[in-house]
Chains A and B, each alone.
Chain A
Amino acid sequence: MILFLCYITTGLLLLIRDCNEFLSFCHKHIFLEVFFAMAGEVPNLAESKLTALVVDDNFVNQSIHHKLLDRLGIKNDVVCNGQEAVDVHCSGRNYDLILMDMDMPIMNGIQATKRLREMGIESKIAGVTTRAEEEEVKEFMEAGLNDFQEKPLTISKLVSILHNLDFYVQA
């Protein structure tokens, strides 16, 4: 497995050296960071200056998701339900990534996602929930999600979200 990864790494580095167009398209930094994360190392995305919002009513999950994002160098805020997520955007704040729980009091994740999209919020929204029935996931995705992960969230799942959502390093 390690030899295979080394082979792939070497091949990719050669490709990147020779293909400037491919390099600029793939935004080398974030690509390699994610690649090394998949190889078992934790990327540090602090240079990318990404920001995130954790939307979850459960204090345990709030703490874990906040720490996961911190570990990746992503500055983040935490709110307790969908209504607070909407309110924070109404106050003028904006985030690159929103981690949205589904089941929350006052305003759930589906309602909040729909509302944010209606408001014109174009942030990437990743649904993070324990509910994994096909119909439930479909309804959540159709509300306006860009990605979905089943809880519990881990470093590798979070890196997968970042990879799926094509986050690039800001200049």
Chain B
Amino acid sequence: MQRQVALIKKSLFDQGYLDEQFMELEELQDDANPNFVEEVATLYFKDSIRLINSIDQALERGSFDFNRLDNYMHQFKGSSTSIGASKVKTECTMFREYCRVGNAEGCLRIFQQVKKEHATLRKKLEHYFQLARQAGPKETARRSK
């Protein structure tokens, strides 16, 4: 079970879904907070879903307030960076570039990618955390060497 958890985590890094920042968070786990990373990830997905809904509503209205969209995405990118969500962060950066040049079509297209990567990461992390909980705290509290 622990080996399975380790392999899943390795694949998340190898496939570029997560970066070094995720390992930094794992280093903060201890006996007092054995599920710290999962708690932070839960906060992230709750907050990011709110931001996705706000951006969706803004885009559906058809009024492209690029400053407002960029502000939303700045927050989204910040959170994604903080938990090590590498692919999501990359898509957020591209969205902000389209906002900067006022490209509405580009924003719409890239936002679909943002949502796709976000949903994929959420599914993969939920699966990882579920297995990690079953395996016990040792696997999630140690940094991969």
Q: Is the CB of A152 within 8 A of B81?
A: yes
Q: Is the CB of A61 within 8 A of B25?
A: no
User: Which of A25-33, A64-72, A111-119 forms contacts with chain B?
Assistant: A64-72
**Size category of the binding interface on chain B:** 20 to 34
Once bound together, how far apart are the Cα atoms of A157 and B139, in whole Å? 25
**With a CB–CB cut-off of 8 A, which chain B residues contact A130?**
74, 77-78, 81
Q: Is the CB of B28 within 8 A of A61?
A: no
Q: Is the CB of B24 within 8 A of A60?
A: no
Q: Per-residue 0/1 for B73-85: is the Cβ within 8 Å of any A Cβ (1 yes, 0 no)?
A: 0110111011110
Given A58-B75, A60-B44, A155-B24; 19 other pairs, CB 8 A cutoff? A60-B82, A60-B83, A61-B78, A61-B79, A63-B39, A63-B40, A64-B28, A71-B28, A71-B30, A103-B75, A130-B77, A130-B78, A151-B81, A151-B82, A152-B21, A152-B81, A152-B84, A154-B21, A155-B28
Chain B positions within 8 Å of A, measured between CB atoms, are: 21, 24-25, 27-28, 30, 33, 36, 39-40, 43-44, 46-47, 74-75, 77-79, 81-84
6 A-B pairs closest in CB distance: A60-B79, A152-B82, A154-B24, A67-B28, A60-B44, A130-B78
